[in-house]
Structure 1
Amino acid sequence: MTAPHPDLHIGADVDPGETARIRQVLGLFVKGDERLLALVTTVKALPKLTHVAVTTRRLIGFCAPELARKGPRQELPLTAVAAIEARKSYQQRWFLVVQDASGEETDFGDLHDQDAPHVVQLVRDLTAAPPVPFTPAPPAPVAPVAPPVPVGPRGADSAAWRFNSPPAWPSPPNGWTPPPGWEPDPSWLPAPPGWQFWIPAPDAAPPALPVPPMAPPPAAPTYTSPPPPMSPSPPPSVRDERRPMFGGRKQRIEELELENAHLIQELARLGALGTVQLADENRRLRDEAAGLHRETQATRREYERLRDGIVETQDLALLQEAGVYEYQHPLADAVAYKAELAKVKDGIKAMARTGRAVVGATDWQVNGSAAQGRKMVTDFSKLMLRAYNAEADNLVRTMRPYKLQSAIERLDKSAQTIERLGKTMDIRVSGEYRSVRITELRLTADHLAKTEEEKERVRAEREVQREEEKARKEFEREKARLLKERSHVHSALARLEANGDAAGAAEMRAKLTDVDGALTDVEGRAANTRAGYVYVISNIGAFGERMVKIGMTRRLDPMDRVRELGDASVPFRFDVHALIFSDDAVGLEGRLHQTFAEQRVNQVNLRREFFYATPSEVRATLESIAGNHLLEYTETPEALEWRSSTTRRA
Structure 2
Amino acid sequence: MIPVLILSLLCLVLAASSYWFWKKSQQSVAECDAARQEGEKNRQQISALEDRFRSVVDADAEAKRLVSEANAERSRIIQDLTDTRGRLTQTISDLADQHERQLEEQRALQKQIGNLQTEFAALDEEANLQSFGFYKPKFDFVTSVEYQQKLEYTRTAQKNLIIAGTAATCSIEWQVNGSVAEGRKQTAQYLKLILRAFNGECDAAIARVKFNNVGVMETRIRKSYEAINKISKPQHSSLAATYLDLRLRELYLIHEVQEKIQQEKEIQRQIREQMREEEIAQRELEKARTDAEKEEKRYADALRKAQQDVQKATGEAQQKLLAQIEALELQLTQAQQIKQRAISQAQLTRSGHVYVISNIGSFGEDVYKIGMTRRLDPLDRVKELGDASVPFQFDVHAIIYCDDAPKLENTLHRLFHQRRLNRINERKEFFRVTLTEIAEAVRANHGEIEFLHEAEAQEYRKTMALLAEIA
**TM-score, scaled to structure 1:** 0.54
Alignment of 1:615 onto 2:426:
no
| Secondary structure of the corresponding residue to residue 541 of structure 1 | helix
Equivalents in 2 of 1:481, 1:316: separation in Å? 63
Query: Is the radius of gyration larger for structure 1 or structure 2?
Result: 2
Distance of aligned partners of 1:309 and 1:429 in 2 relative to their CA distance in 1, 3 Å threshold: same
Q: Name the aligned partner's letter for residue 274 of structure 2.
A: V
- Superposition deviation, residue 494 in structure 1: 0.5
Of 375, 388, 394, the residue aligned with 2:185 is 375
- Superposition deviation, residue 526 in structure 1: 1.1
The corresponding residue for 1:639 is 457
- Superposition deviation, residue 296 in structure 1: 5.3
Alignment of 1:628 onto 2:447:
yes
| Secondary structure of the corresponding residue to residue 423 of structure 1 | helix
Distance of aligned partners of 1:413 and 1:367 in 2 relative to their CA distance in 1, 3 Å threshold: same
| Secondary structure of the corresponding residue to residue 451 of structure 2 | coil
The corresponding residue for 1:559 is 379
Q: Name the aligned partner's letter for residue 408 of structure 2.
A: L
Whether contact under 8 Å (2:175, 2:183) holds in the other structure is yes
Alignment of 1:300 onto 2:118:
no
Q: Name the aligned partner's letter for residue 464 of structure 2.
A: T
Whether contact under 8 Å (1:538, 1:576) holds in the other structure is yes
The corresponding residue for 2:157 is 347
Equivalents in 2 of 1:319, 1:533: separation in Å? 42
Q: Unaligned 5+ residue runs, structure 2?
A: 1-69, 74-83, 311-320
The corresponding residue for 2:133 is 322
Whether contact under 8 Å (2:125, 2:216) holds in the other structure is no
Greater relative contact order (Cα 8 A, min sep 6): structure 1 or 2?
A: 2
- Superposition deviation, residue 648 in structure 1: 0.8
Whether contact under 8 Å (1:364, 1:425) holds in the other structure is no
Distance of aligned partners of 1:387 and 1:296 in 2 relative to their CA distance in 1, 3 Å threshold: closer
| Secondary structure of the corresponding residue to residue 372 of structure 2 | strand
Alignment of 1:405 onto 2:225:
no
1:24-39 superposed matches below 5 A: none
Q: Name the aligned partner's letter for residue 591 of structure 1.
A: T
| Secondary structure of the corresponding residue to residue 213 of structure 2 | helix
Distance of aligned partners of 1:361 and 1:377 in 2 relative to their CA distance in 1, 3 Å threshold: farther
- Superposition deviation, residue 612 in structure 1: 0.5
* Deviation string, structure 1 residues 80-132 (Cα, Å, up to 9, x no partner): xxxxxxxxxxxxxxxxxxxxxxxxxxxxxxxxxxxxxxxxxxxxxxxxxxxxx
The corresponding residue for 2:174 is 364
1:197-596 superposed matches below 5 A: 297-310=107-120, 311-314=122-125, 317-318=128-129, 320-323=131-134, 325-500=135-310, 501-596=321-416
Aligned residues: CA RMSD = 2.7
| Secondary structure of the corresponding residue to residue 573 of structure 1 | coil
Whether contact under 8 Å (2:303, 2:329) holds in the other structure is yes
Equivalents in 2 of 1:317, 1:432: separation in Å? 28
**Higher helix residue share:** 2
Whether contact under 8 Å (1:312, 1:318) holds in the other structure is no
**Higher strand residue share:** 1
* Deviation string, structure 1 residues 164-219 (Cα, Å, up to 9, x no partner): xxxxxxxxxxxxxxxxxxxxxxxxxxxxxxxxxxxxxxxxx99x9xxxxxxxxxxx
Equivalents in 2 of 1:574, 1:349: separation in Å? 57
- Superposition deviation, residue 503 in structure 1: 2.3
- Superposition deviation, residue 519 in structure 1: 0.9
- Superposition deviation, residue 429 in structure 1: 0.9
Identical-residue share of aligned pairs (%): 34
Equivalents in 1 of 2:411, 2:300: separation in Å? 45
Equivalents in 1 of 2:239, 2:436: separation in Å? 64
Q: Name the aligned partner's letter for residue 386 of structure 1.
A: R
Bigger Cα displacement from structure 2, 538-547 vs 418-427: 418-427
The corresponding residue for 1:606 is 426
| Secondary structure of the corresponding residue to residue 299 of structure 2 | helix
Equivalents in 1 of 2:130, 2:246: separation in Å? 26
Q: Name the aligned partner's letter for residue 344 of structure 1.
A: T
Equivalents in 1 of 2:99, 2:164: separation in Å? 62
Whether contact under 8 Å (2:422, 2:428) holds in the other structure is yes
Equivalents in 2 of 1:364, 1:314: separation in Å? 40
Equivalents in 1 of 2:109, 2:191: separation in Å? 38
Equivalents in 1 of 2:362, 2:105: separation in Å? 54
Equivalents in 1 of 2:448, 2:339: separation in Å? 24
- Superposition deviation, residue 434 in structure 1: 2.0
Bigger Cα displacement from structure 2, 549-558 vs 444-453: 444-453
**TM-score, scaled to structure 2:** 0.73
Q: Unaligned 5+ residue runs, structure 1?
A: 1-204, 209-275
Whether contact under 8 Å (2:128, 2:216) holds in the other structure is no
The corresponding residue for 1:648 is 466
* Deviation string, structure 1 residues 45-80 (Cα, Å, up to 9, x no partner): xxxxxxxxxxxxxxxxxxxxxxxxxxxxxxxxxxxx
